[in-house]
Structure 1
Amino acid sequence: MLVRVKGSSHQPSDGRLAALAGERVFSSEYTYRRGAELFGEGEDAEYVYQTISGAVRTYKLLPDGRRQINSFHLIGDMFGLENGAIHRFTAEAIVETKVRIVRRRSLLDAMANESTGVTNLLSLITLNLQHAENHMLLLGRKSSLERVAAFLIEMDERLVHPDELTLPMNRRDIADYLGLKLETVSRALSTMRDKRILRFNGVTQRQVVLMDREGLAKLDA
């Protein structure tokens, strides 16, 4: 559910959106409550999104009712730029999340008028393809322990190796991203804790300190 709107269409975009367009395009800012849907699978792909605060998950519901998360969109990430007219995934706010929204047509028009527009678009598409390829490899070729290790390495890299990883997603989200059962994820994390590769801070155990990054990398060998 939308809880606050800022700016209507009068705020210039910045960050990666501006870099992608090559100029400042106008945008709106929206804040969504935890669990609120930003867009649904099969809906018109009218807007491109950038996470300002919080985090977003994009996923599909499988025919048997299971959920497969394909990506987590953290602060600064862009998403929703489809190669077709409709969204292939559903997007939900993991926690209270603020996003910047730009009309896809406005963004593509701005890029078309810039000498670097095509290059910037290809760069974004390449990044998305690399993520999809890595995710397919993770789901198809790695053991459960390797998958959880790979996930932590991914989060550590995306958050620029902080002293403490603050994960917005819970273990169910991690399980649905890795194609594992919740209990399997918990066992893998406990194994890493027992090996002193990591430790948890806080009651929710979403604050993770990586004590041995080299050991973590070896688990993902």
Structure 2
Amino acid sequence: MFAVTSAAAAPQPTEDFGQVGVPMAFAAGEEIYAQDEEADMIYRVVRGAVRTTRLLSDGRRQIGDFYYPGDLLGLEAGSVHRFSAEALGACKIQVIRKSALGLYGEDGLKIERMIWSETARELQRTQEHVMLLGRKSACEKVACFLLDMARRFRGDVAELPMGRQDMADYLGLTIETVSRMVTQLQADGLVRFLGCRRFEIRNPVGLANLVEA
């Protein structure tokens, strides 16, 4: 059995914004920032989990990514947010205005270095997401998603902060397909779900082989 744990229990990073920025609390489903809103704020997840979403012209929803404690979000190449951000559950977010970083001296420089590092990591995640959407079968997509969650956290049982519809919108699948693939992975003895959101990986080598096939 592969050990994983919940996003809520993920270890905190050693670096953060310190005393710089303003802590804000958000309830489940509450919007943190909006699509096409001015992007002058940087957000760090302190507690909880966040999803970024974009509404397409035909009304469909695309999920960009999920963010967990220690992650930065709101990093944009342009002047506005391409995605909106919403709390998946009760969240604590630390917020700082990018244009004010110069006022904080060494702390501001430290945060700017963090932003550059996180921007590079965000680009890598985006590239991996594109490959996932374009090159993987439905079963491989779901397996890859679960394995990524398992690699991110450690413990006995993972409790996914997102529901099946969120998984489907992130993977470019229907919710029915996600449910079928979860059932198939369980039947193959690769994972075991202990409810809609709690799971454990039973065969990490087999799951990795499926993802890398």
Deviation at 1:107, TM superposition (A): 3.4
Aligned partner of 1:83 in structure 2 is 77
Residue aligned with 2:182, SS: helix
Matches within 5 A, 1:91-102: 91-102=85-96
Q: Deviations over 1:92-116 (max 9, x none)?
A: 1111111111112233665888777
Aligned ranges 1:14-29 → 2 under 5 Å? 15-18=14-17, 24-29=18-23
> After superposition, where does 1:145-164 map in structure 2 within 5 Å?
145-159=139-153, 161-164=154-157
> Which of 206, 209, 212 does residue 215 from structure 1 map onto?
206
Structure of greater relative contact order (alpha carbons < 8 Å, 6+ residues apart): 2
2:8 paired residue number: none
Q: Point out where structure 1 has 5 or more consecutive residues left out of the alignment.
A: 1-13, 19-23
The CA RMSD over aligned residues, in Å, is 2.2
How far apart are the structure 2 equivalents of 1:79 and 1:162?
Answer: 25
Give the share of equivalent positions with the same residue, in percent. 38
Stretches of structure 2 that go unaligned for 5 or more consecutive residues are 1-12
98-107 or 119-128: which moved more?
Answer: 119-128
Deviation (angstroms), 1:199: 1.1
Instruction: Give me the whole-angstrom Cα distance separating, in 2, the residues matched to 1:129 and 1:111.
Output: 27
In structure 1, C-alpha distance between the alignment counterparts of 2:164 and 2:99, rounded to whole Å: 37
- Relative to its length, the structure with more strand (as a share) is 1
1:172/1:63 Cα in 2 relative to 1: closer, same or farther (>3 Å)? Answer: same
- Relative to structure 1, the CA distance from residue 16 to residue 58 in structure 2 (aligned partners, 3 Å threshold; closer, same or farther) is farther
Task: Tell me the number of residue pairs that the alignment of Structure 1 and Structure 2 aligns.
Answer: 200
- Tell me, in whole angstroms, the C-alpha distance in 2 between the residues paired with 1:99 and 1:117: 15
Specify which of 21, 43, 47 is matched with residue 53 of structure 1: 47
Whether 1:69 aligns to 2:63 is yes
Q: What secondary structure does 2:183 align onto? A: helix
